[in-house]
Structure 1
Amino acid sequence: MPPPDLNLLVTLDALLTEGSVAGAARRLRLSPSAMSRTLARLRATTGDPLLVRAGRALVPTPRAVELRARVGPLLREGEALLRPGAAPDLRQLERQFTLRTRDGFVETFGAALLARIASEAPGVRLRFVAKHDKDSRLLRSGAVDLDTGVVEGTAGPELRTQALFSERFVGVVAPGHELARQRATPAAYAACRHVQVARRAAGAGPVDQALQALGLQRDIAATVDSYCAALALAREAGLVATVPERHTAGLRAGLHSFTLPLALPPLTVALLWHPQAHADPAHRWLRACVRQVCSVAAGDPA
Structure 2
Amino acid sequence: MADVDLNLLDALDVLLAESSVTAAARRLGLSASAMSRTLARLRDATGDPLLVRAGRGLVPTPRAAELRDRVQTLARDARAILQPQPAHLDVASLTRTFTIRASEAFLDLLAAPVVEAVLRTAHGVRLRFVPKTSKDAAPLRDGSVDLEIGVRGTDAPEIRTRFLFADRLVGVVREGHPLLAGDGPTPYRLATCDHVVASRNDNGLDPIEHALAQLDLGRMVRVVVPGYPDAMRIARGSELVAFVPRSCLGHALPPKHGAPRGLATFEAPFALPEFKIVAIWHPRMDADPAHRWLRDLITGICRKAYPKA
TM-score by length of 1: 0.71
Instruction: Give yes or no for contact 2:100–2:129 (8 Å, CA) kept in 1.
Output: yes
Shift of 1:103: 2.3
Selected match of 1:264 from 272, 282, 285: 272
Counterpart for residue 89 of structure 1: 90
Kept after mapping to 2: 8 A contact 1:172/1:257:
yes
| Structure-2 change in CA distance of 1:106 and 1:80 (3 Å) | closer
Alignment of 1:15-26 (within 5 A): none
| In structure 1, C-alpha distance between the alignment counterparts of 2:2 and 2:125, rounded to whole Å | 46
Instruction: Indicate yes or no: 2:163 matched with 1:169.
Output: no
Give the CA deviation at 1:296. Answer: 1.8
Taking the TM superposition and a 5 Å limit, the aligned residue runs for 1:101-116 are 101-116=102-117
Residues 77-226 of structure 1: pairs in structure 2 closer than 5 A:
81-152=82-153, 154-182=154-182, 183-200=184-201, 204-226=205-227
How far apart, CA to CA, are the structure 1 residues paired with 2:283 and 2:300?
21
Query: Which residue in 1 is equivalent to 2:34?
Result: 64
Structure 2 spans left out of the alignment, 5+ residues: 8-29, 40-74, 253-258
Residue identity matched to 1:63:
S
Residues 1:80 and 1:130: Cα distance change in structure 2 (over 3 Å): closer
2:130 aligned counterpart, secondary structure = strand
8 A contact 2:249–2:260 mirrored in 1: no
Contact 2:166 2:276 in 1 (8 A): yes
Shift of 1:214: 0.5
1:243-277: CA deviation from partner (whole Å, max 9, x where unpaired): 11124424741211111112122111111011111
Q: Does structure 2 conserve the Cα–Cα contact (< 8 Å) formed by 1:194 and 1:221?
A: yes
Maintained 8 Å contact 1:165/1:270? yes
Task: Calculate percent identity across the aligned residue pairs.
Answer: 39
Question: Offset of 1:81 from its aligned partner?
Answer: 3.3
Paired residues, what number? 241
Query: Is 1:287 matched up with 2:288?
Result: no
Contact 1:87 1:282 in 2 (8 A): no
Flag the 1:100–1:80 CA change in 2: closer, same or farther, 3 A.
closer
Q: Is the 8 A contact 2:162 2:278 kept in 1?
A: yes
Tell whether the 8 Å contact from 1:85 to 1:280 is kept in structure 2 after alignment. no
* Partner AA of 1:160 in structure 2: R
User: What secondary structure sits across from 2:231 in the alignment?
Assistant: helix
Shift in CA distance, 206/267, structure 1 to aligned 2, threshold 3 Å: same
Q: In structure 1, what is the Cα distance between the partners aligned to 2:111 and 2:4? A: 53
Q: Report which stretch shifted further, 126-135 or 193-202.
A: 193-202
CA contact (8 A) 2:135 2:152 kept: no
Alpha-carbon displacement from aligned partner over 1:169-208 (angstroms, at most 9, x marks no partner)? 1001111212333421111111111111223386641210
The DSSP-based 3-state class of the residue aligned with 1:100 is strand
SS at match of 2:273: coil
Output the CA distance in 1 between the equivalents of 2:105 and 2:241.
18
Unaligned runs of 5+ in 1: 8-59
Preserved CA contact (<8 Å) 2:166 2:307: no
Q: Tell me, yes or no, if the aligned pair for 1:161 and 1:270 is still in contact at 8 Å.
A: yes
